[in-house]
């Protein structure tokens, strides 16, 4: 018998997948791709190879990927395996109470989300684990809240957050309401790997008594808690504009703002209702250039004081405000989109000035965010912690006897108080709106606050540079580039001496952070954080410049910071050989 060629093996694997796929639509889709590849279609052959090039890896971020058939895509078969892995983890980690405490299950409005959530509930119920299904589609923070509110053993949120329309994802929370970390991710991954065939995984019907359909009471409870995070509830004179970017946040945010005492916001009408195609934005992420163009135009023409923008699952918050240096506030060109670090320090400043935090509260942000929060915390007498990237680490910053008073990451993620143990773009919107209202009553703006902070602590300007390593061996070459950088780091960058190098892979200079493939180059008046992406062959560099304000000349200080930022980005790009 002749030895099978790679193509024969690939087609065989695809046929096996089709035979085991419970979804008739993805079965038909993969069958047509196989037939086209067998007919000599080069594009179909490449597509088929990519779908079976690997499997979506279950990690601390759960699963996320492009929709479609095959192990390297998000589909019903992959989700059923994931649900089986979660069921096994709960039964092994908490066999006595876990099944009865159950798993809260929620979903957004993306394609496949409802079906993925229902299949998850059916797998859990068949394993004897209660599945508490939220009355979705709903924002991710509501699910994170419900896990702690009802005391479930875990939570599953079917969402791809701010990813493109072609994607979907699967986020898992542990019983503390926080995103999972090691070794939980490995335990779930082991359970997934133990599933030989999807058809072997038991599922109940949708009416099984272990599938509990939650009503709006849980959403009402979230709304009450999120609405109460403000520190100056008597000050609500502010005109708000909002956008949900076609996600699921509009209805809940509307309720939260009303419960907090704000007048109804002006919404971007064509972006208020959920739409899985995200038709008015190329990329539904408030960070992306152009994503807020339509919303800024609505804010400007409606006479709003601030634009509050949630991403599609409403766990992030983008903000734009009028900037008199750019033009008239009635003109979209006269508005400025704030950076994530700027939003973070404005929220922190407002919270510190209006009630502060209780004893034992900690302020936290990540190693790739601005260091300004650390200076603000020190000035106010509160402990500060710096964590690895991601809210799974920020929410674990408090030590024994401490609580998280405020945490943020530069990628528009903010956690105010203890509403949820994760980022929450809706409770953050309440605090930001309140900050704008309080400042307006004083004849001031958030831009004035940024100037105040710069005068006290220096201009903290942050920026990024990234580079993709092309080719099938991209991840290997990226790892080699990091090895070369470690072996021969630069002694100077843009004329600034590198005073200290912190290597988090080996623990660095007394670092308290878990090992991570990150290098931190500390400079006089700045730093550069270098890390590879964990999901794609891309090197990411986060640059910060700290420029002191001399003789109260704010424009000169900001200009000097911009120049230094451009020089440092050019220098680090030249210092890292990627080939």
pLDDT tens-digit profile of 487-516? Answer: 999 999 999 999 999 999 886 444 578 888
Share of the chain above pLDDT 70, in %: 97
What's the confidence (pLDDT) of residue 535? Answer: 65
What's the confidence (pLDDT) of residue 511? Answer: 58
Query: Token pair of 60, please?
Result: 């601390």
What's the confidence (pLDDT) of residue 507? Answer: 65
Query: Token pair of 303, please?
Result: 């006479």
What's the confidence (pLDDT) of residue 200? Answer: 96
Q: How far apart are CA 323 and CA 486, in angstroms?
A: 42
Q: Minimum mean pLDDT among 281-295, 409-423, 526-540: which range?
A: 526-540
388, 441: one domain: yes
294, 346: one domain: no
Report residue 3's pLDDT band, with 50, 70 and 90 as the boundaries. very low
59, 201: one domain: yes
322, 415: one domain: no
3, 61: one domain: no
| Mean predicted confidence (pLDDT) in 180-198 | 95
204, 79: one domain: yes
Q: Minimum mean pLDDT among 100-104, 400-404, 500-504, 510-514: which range?
A: 510-514
60, 97: one domain: yes
- For residue 171, pLDDT over 90 is answered with yes
423, 570: one domain: no
283-297 pLDDT, tens digit per residue, is 999 999 999 999 999
Query: Token pair of 206, please?
Result: 């949708």
480, 553: one domain: yes
Residue where a domain terminates, one of 455, 473, 490: 455
- For residue 105, pLDDT over 70 is answered with yes
Residue where a domain terminates, one of 314, 337, 360: 337
9, 125: one domain: no
Query: Token pair of 214, please?
Result: 């939650």
Q: Supply the mean pLDDT for the chain.
A: 94
Report residue 426's pLDDT band, with 50, 70 and 90 as the boundaries. very high
Up-side HSE of residue 63: CA atoms within 13 Å toward CB? 34
Q: CA–CA distance from 182 to each of 156, 257, 506 (Å)?
A: 17, 36, 18
Task: Encode 77-122 in three state secondary structure.
Answer: HHHHHHHHHHHHHHHHHCCCCHHHHCEEEEECCCCCHHHHHHHHHH
Pairing of strands 211-213, 131-133: parallel
- Find out whether 141 and 169 touch, Cβ atoms under 8 Å: no
Cα 90–chain centre separation: 25
Q: CA–CA distance from 561 to each of 424, 556, 566 (Å)?
A: 31, 9, 9
Residue 231: its H or E element: none
Q: Minimum mean pLDDT among 306-310, 339-343, 374-378, 467-471: which range?
A: 467-471
* CA proximity to 143, closest of 113, 164, 122, 123: 113
Query: Number of folded domains in the chain?
Result: 5
Q: What angle do CA 283, 71, 159 make, to 5 degrees?
A: 35
Q: Indicate which residues carry an active-site annotation.
A: 161
Look up the CATH number of the domain holding residue 348. 3.40.120.10
Look up the CATH number of the domain holding residue 494. 3.30.310
Q: How far apart are the first and last CA of the chain?
A: 43
Residue where a domain terminates, one of 337, 359, 380: 337
| Mean predicted confidence (pLDDT) in 142-152 | 98
Cα 526–chain centre separation: 25
Q: CA–CA distance from 547 to each of 85, 324, 431, 556 (Å)?
A: 50, 23, 28, 10
Beta bridge partners of 266: 241
Q: What angle do CA 301, 307, 308 make, to 5 degrees?
A: 150
C-beta neighbour count of 496 within 10 angstroms? 18
37-90 pLDDT, tens digit per residue, is 999 999 999 999 999 998 988 877 789 999 999 999 999 999 999 999 999 999
Where would I find the H helices in 354-473? 372-380, 391-394, 425-441, 446-457
511, 451: one domain: no
Pairing of strands 538-547, 459-468: antiparallel
Q: CA–CA distance from 50 to each of 45, 166, 169 (Å)?
A: 9, 16, 18
Query: Token pair of 422, please?
Result: 């994760």
C-beta neighbour count of 535 within 10 angstroms? 12
Query: Token pair of 62, please?
Result: 């759960």
What's the confidence (pLDDT) of residue 509? Answer: 46
- For residue 190, pLDDT over 80 is answered with yes
CA torsion angle 495 565 518 346 (round to 10): 140
142, 192: one domain: yes
Query: What single-letter DSSP state applies at residue 74?
Result: B
The domain of 269 spans 224-337
Query: Token pair of 349, please?
Result: 């400043």
| Mean predicted confidence (pLDDT) in 190-198 | 96
- For residue 2, pLDDT over 60 is answered with no
Pairing of strands 538-547, 526-532: antiparallel
- Find out whether 295 and 120 touch, Cβ atoms under 8 Å: no
Phi then psi for 69, rounded to 5 degrees?
A: -75, 155
C-beta neighbour count of 159 within 10 angstroms? 35
Question: Per-residue b/e over 259-272, b at no fewer than 16 CB within 10 Å?
Answer: bbbbeebbbbeebb
Query: Token pair of 578, please?
Result: 């990627």
Query: What single-letter DSSP state applies at residue 314?
Result: S
Report residue 387's pLDDT band, with 50, 70 and 90 as the boundaries. very high
């Amino acid at each position: 018998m002749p030895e099978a060629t790679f193509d024969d093996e690939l087609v065989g694997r695809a046929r096996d997948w089709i035979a085991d796929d419970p979804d008739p639509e993805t079965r038909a889709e993969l069958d047509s791709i196989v037939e086209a590849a067998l007919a000599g279609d080069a594009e179909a052959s490449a597509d088929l190879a990519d779908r079976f090039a690997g499997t979506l890896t279950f990690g601390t971020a759960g699963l996320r990927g492009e929709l479609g058939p095959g192990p390297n895509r998000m589909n019903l078969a992959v989700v059923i395996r994931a649900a089986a892995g979660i069921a096994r983890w709960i039964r092994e980690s908490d066999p006595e109470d876990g099944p009865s405490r159950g798993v809260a299950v929620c979903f957004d409005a993306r394609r496949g989300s409802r079906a993925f959530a229902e299949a998850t509930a059916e797998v859990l119920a068949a394993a004897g684990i209660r599945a508490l299904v939220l009355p979705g589609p709903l924002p991710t923070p509501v699910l994170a809240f419900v896990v702690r509110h009802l005391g479930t053993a875990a939570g599953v949120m079917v969402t791809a957050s701010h990813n493109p329309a072609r994607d979907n994802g699967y986020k898992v929370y542990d019983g503390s309401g926080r995103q999972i970390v090691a070794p939980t991710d490995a335990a779930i991954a082991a359970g997934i790997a133990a599933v030989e065939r999807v058809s072997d995984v038991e599922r109940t019907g949708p009416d099984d008594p272990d599938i509990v359909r939650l009503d709006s009471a849980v959403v009402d409870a979230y709304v009450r808690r999120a609405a109460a995070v403000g520190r100056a509830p008597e000050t609500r004179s502010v005109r708000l504009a909002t956008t949900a970017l076609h996600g699921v946040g509009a209805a809940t945010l509307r309720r939260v703002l009303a419960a907090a005492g704000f007048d109804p916001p002006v919404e971007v009408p064509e972006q208020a209702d959920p739409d899985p195609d995200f038709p008015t934005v190329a990329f539904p992420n408030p960070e992306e250039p152009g994503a807020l163009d339509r919303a800024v135009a609505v804010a400007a023409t409606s006479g709003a004081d601030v634009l509050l923008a949630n991403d599609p699952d409403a766990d992030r918050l983008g903000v734009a405000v009028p900037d008199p240096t750019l033009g008239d506030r009635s003109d979209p060109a006269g508005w400025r989109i704030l950076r994530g670090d700027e939003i973070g320090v404005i929220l922190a400043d407002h919270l510190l000035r209006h009630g502060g935090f209780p004893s034992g509260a900690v302020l936290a942000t990540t190693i790739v965010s601005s260091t300004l929060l650390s200076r603000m915390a020190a000035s106010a007498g509160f402990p500060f912690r710096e964590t690895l990237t991601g809210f799974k680490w920020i929410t674990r910053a408090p030590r024994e006897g401490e609580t998280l008073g405020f945490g943020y990451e530069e990628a528009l993620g903010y956690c105010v108080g203890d509403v949820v143990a994760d980022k929450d773009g809706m409770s953050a919107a309440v605090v930001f709106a309140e900050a704008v209202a309080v400042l307006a009553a004083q004849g001031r703006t958030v831009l004035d606050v940024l100037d105040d902070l710069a005068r006290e602590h220096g201009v903290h300007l942050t920026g990024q540079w990234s580079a993709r390593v092309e080719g099938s061996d991209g991840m290997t070459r990226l790892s080699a580039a990091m090895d070369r950088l470690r072996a021969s780091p630069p002694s100077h960058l843009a004329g600034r001496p590198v005073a200290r190098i912190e290597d988090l892979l080996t623990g660095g200079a007394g670092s308290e952070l878990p090992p991570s493939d990150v290098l931190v180059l500390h400079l006089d008046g700045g730093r550069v954080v270098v890390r590879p992406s964990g999901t794609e062959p891309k090197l990411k560099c986060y640059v910060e410049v700290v420029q002191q304000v001399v003789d109260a000349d704010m424009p000169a200080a900001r200009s000097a910071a911009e120049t230094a930022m451009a020089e440092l980005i050019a220098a680090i790009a030249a210092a890292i050989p990627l080939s």
